[in-house]
Amino acid sequence: MRKNQKIEGCRFYRASSTKSGYVIGVDGGGSKTTAVLADLRGKFLARNKTGSSHPRHLGFERAVLNVANLLKPLIKKSKDGKILATFLGLPAMEEEFKFKKEIIKKELFKIKSVSKIFKGKVIIGSDQLVGFSAGTNEKDGVMLIGGSGCAAHGWVGKKEVKVSGWGYLTEEGSSFWIGQKGLQAVWDDLDERGPKTILTKLFFRKLGIKNEIGLVEKIYKGNTQETVASLSFWVNNAAEKGDKIAEDILIAAGKELALSANTVIKRLNFQRKKFPLVLVGSVFKSKIILDTVKKEIKKLASGAVFIQPKQEPVTGAVKLALQAI
């Protein structure tokens, strides 16, 4: 979203509001985190980006420090204006760290350069709720994330259900999972344990290597999670070139993602209802995955209305901050 572009669909404040001040929205993640300073009309005034803000990956203290460093330049941009609300959408908040939200607030408050936000409301919530809010103004519905990790999360009334999102080793359908399956197919090809695949040639080119030893070094030295997840792009590329092995991996990924969403749908009794189903994440750029997900979910819930937000997820955090005031 461009600077000063009005948030589409934001209905918490009208443009004619006489209230003055700012809000901050943060969309946290395992690989990147985005924060935005906005006015009360929802116009983005400043933004900042950093890497992971995931307590599971970084540890509690470092994650808090990363968030603080992200907020500092936005707080400076607000000058003497009051920040009325800050919504921090952070990973794993509704799973592992639900009871540590107040501790996060206390740790942030100790950092003088960001303590100004506590003159207004500070809300810590799920990055999944942020993504859902970026796609719809509805309160009830389902969110399906398919990125470096994946998870399905749904809400109806006061009830919410979350499936998957337990770390990259278990998140079926994520870009890491796709890259890992592609890597396994390449090793089967190289060892002559399985069929030939053009993934081998593409992976070697992508990683700048010439042999098996180079492949081992590239994968196991440095950031293995990031390297393997990046291979998912080439799995999709191979599938588009007609590689059956790659195509089967993407179809399997789509079915796994749909299974997570369908599990949430069943537990919330959405099967016979019309509801928004927001899809966020890089894996949905694959037509094969997207078509498979929609097909499998429609078998269970014909009333699912698929939404791929045109706005970036941090828009949802800004909307939630505005809602808080």
Q: Where are the beta strands (DSSP E) in 193-309?
A: 275-280, 304-307
| pLDDT for residue 4 | 39
Structure tokens at 307: 């939404």
| Alpha carbon distance 257, 67 (integer Å) | 29
Residue whose tokens read 């100790």: 110
| Alpha carbon distance 53, 69 (integer Å) | 11
Reported as a single tens digit per residue, the pLDDT across 1-44 is: 333 334 343 444 443 344 689 999 999 887 789 999 999 999 99
323 contacts: CB under 8 Å, gap ≥ 6: 12
Is residue 225 within 8 Å of 56, Cβ to Cβ? no
Is residue 173 within 8 Å of 285, Cβ to Cβ? no
Q: At what angle do helices 60-77 and 101-109 cross, to 10 degrees?
A: 50
Model pTM score:
0.85
**Residue 259 parent element (H or E):** helix 244-267
159 contacts: CB under 8 Å, gap ≥ 6: 268
| Domains of the chain (ranges, CATH numbers) | 22-136+312-324 (3.30.420.40)
pLDDT < 50 stretches in the chain: 1-18
Reported as a single tens digit per residue, the pLDDT across 118-167 is: 999 999 988 889 999 999 999 999 999 998 889 999 999 999 999 998 88
Give the Å distances, CA to CA, from 123 to 5, 129, 176: 24, 12, 30
| pLDDT for residue 100 | 79
Among 72, 9, 64, CA closest to 41: 9
| pLDDT for residue 19 | 67
| Alpha carbon distance 44, 39 (integer Å) | 7
